[in-house]
Structure 1
């Protein structure tokens, strides 16, 4: 396993595995025995970074979510897992009613933030949440209120690192400025969709609607370059299997000439290294100039093993240059 640092300040900085394991489907689409087996193998391999959210996975059984957190709590307790494993969770997108979806999320008011964080700590069986994200935007709540509420949790010691997921870059910057002016902790980790292939960002998309920026656009990457110590956790890094499975198709957002050029480069490097396209993508992301953590799911130990091989893969400078040059 390889490791990188998340957190910009000495007080919150943590070293975690370069690969982040997504637990979104654990406890619903992936049964408990399989979930435990995947988690056990991840930790055995040196993995120390796991991602979930308080609304995972409401769509599986028409609930408000929480199944993933609860499974992770049972796994932690049964295995004696302590703070050596960093578990990140997200709040703010939990349906107000069972099965309610993203159309009516609970939001990021001070009251909701505190209640949600308390519930997540109980579900996970922890005294402190290692990393807590604001899951989606809440433009109905003053940003000052949201920032202050998150800062209070850190000051009280019930939250370690703070992050923002799917937020417009200008909102992230405004929130960080508000936190700095108030002398309280702010967002240090950002989570967006990102992979080797790049979607178009000039079209209406499921990744950029309802007041949320879902994709790590060029603006997001530029912001990360300008903010040393700010890490990117990249979800859907393997595009749901579309790199390697014929039955999985790329989203229409990828229908542009650059996709063909990058797929050609990716397949060439995969052939020359003897690795799968997925493994090349993970190696490319982990070795990126920016602190980038690919977030991958696994519904079996075999799927996880494939991703772990991507962590171990070392791309040559020539291969990395070829991948970067494709447009």
Structure 2
């Protein structure tokens, strides 16, 4: 089950210092973890420079200091959201023009100290970018052996289909994974998220699309709502302020009590055991937080428990 858990390295090298980040990475690999997720823009908002690259650079130092570990992990990184001017995001986000994609992978590989990444994501959709040109640029990276697979994050379902159709028509690899914000709680319908990208929610259209396309996987970012399930100092975002949240939290607490697990662990088990399955990206800042997530991978919900969780609305 550890293949289903993705380690998010977003804050490594900024708010999570090198010593703690290395300890988390070591523990993840020792527990059998494989996927590590980052981006070229992480974490520009947490660095005085106003630009990203700190997470990839730290991962590069970790990989270099652990002989043999590169063959045990799969690296996932992204292009599209690095600001071109410090302090001006999203208006100066780099976008997905072909040269940007080429420069993006070159910079990521240099910082990571590797010759390839196993997953490369379009971090955000840019409607003014030519689809055929973007598809061709991503396809060239796969052909060159720099990237194994391609994915898109924060895309609407119809845009995902448009990009995949363009790739199929051009005879080049297309997106085979979507990365969206998804968790157990439901946001109010038609709300614009306050802490994620506009099209960042995993909605019914995207789920239906994945259900009808066996070659597309779902990854979920911020599945634990940045600690809001378990920490009083981390309030829920406004889009979760509705009666359905109260009912779903009650169901979550009932299952947690039955299993002896934490809310976080039940949420992770619910995600990984879903149909279609979801790979949650967890971003721990301590080894103890990571251990909680690792333990959740051995939690198997019964049909009755899953029904209780699913029916609460």
In 2, the alpha carbon distance for the partners of 1:217 and 1:242 equals: 21
In 2, the alpha carbon distance for the partners of 1:170 and 1:282 equals: 28
Superposed, which structure 2 residues align to 1:49-198 within 5 Å? 49-62=35-48, 63-80=50-67, 81-198=69-186
Q: How many residues align?
A: 311
Does the 8 A contact of 1:207 with 1:213 survive in 2? no
In 2, the alpha carbon distance for the partners of 1:229 and 1:162 equals: 12
Q: Shift of residue 325 of structure 1?
A: 1.5
- Structure-2 residue corresponding to 1:227: 213
| TM-score when normalising by structure 1 | 0.92
In 2, the alpha carbon distance for the partners of 1:280 and 1:203 equals: 25
* Equivalent of 1:39 in 15, 25, 35: 25
In 2, the alpha carbon distance for the partners of 1:199 and 1:245 equals: 19
Deviation string, structure 1 residues 126-148 (Cα, Å, up to 9, x no partner): 11111000001112221111111
Deviation string, structure 1 residues 55-105 (Cα, Å, up to 9, x no partner): 000011233100000000110110122232111001010000233332210
Does the 8 A contact of 1:134 with 1:164 survive in 2? yes
- Structure-1 residue corresponding to 2:251: 265
Q: What SS class does the counterpart of residue 294 from structure 1 fall into?
A: strand
Which range is displaced more, 304-313 or 64-73? 304-313
In 2, the alpha carbon distance for the partners of 1:273 and 1:285 equals: 16
Does the 8 A contact of 1:230 with 1:291 survive in 2? no
- Structure-1 residue corresponding to 2:202: 216
Does the 8 A contact of 1:283 with 1:315 survive in 2? yes
RMSD across aligned positions (CA): 1.3
Q: What SS class does the counterpart of residue 315 from structure 1 fall into?
A: coil
In 2, the alpha carbon distance for the partners of 1:216 and 1:19 equals: 18
Q: What SS class does the counterpart of residue 164 from structure 1 fall into?
A: strand
Does the 8 A contact of 2:269 with 2:300 survive in 1? yes
In 1, the alpha carbon distance for the partners of 2:214 and 2:51 equals: 36
Q: Shift of residue 208 of structure 1?
A: 7.2
In 2, the alpha carbon distance for the partners of 1:139 and 1:190 equals: 17
In 1, the alpha carbon distance for the partners of 2:194 and 2:105 equals: 27
- Structure-2 residue corresponding to 1:305: 291
Does the 8 A contact of 1:58 with 1:101 survive in 2? no
- Structure-2 residue corresponding to 1:317: 303
* Equivalent of 1:287 in 273, 293, 297: 273
Does the 8 A contact of 2:194 with 2:237 survive in 1? no
Does the 8 A contact of 1:59 with 1:101 survive in 2? no
Deviation string, structure 1 residues 106-151 (Cα, Å, up to 9, x no partner): 1100000000111101111111111000001112221111111001
What runs of 5+ residues in structure 1 fail to find an aligned partner? 4-16
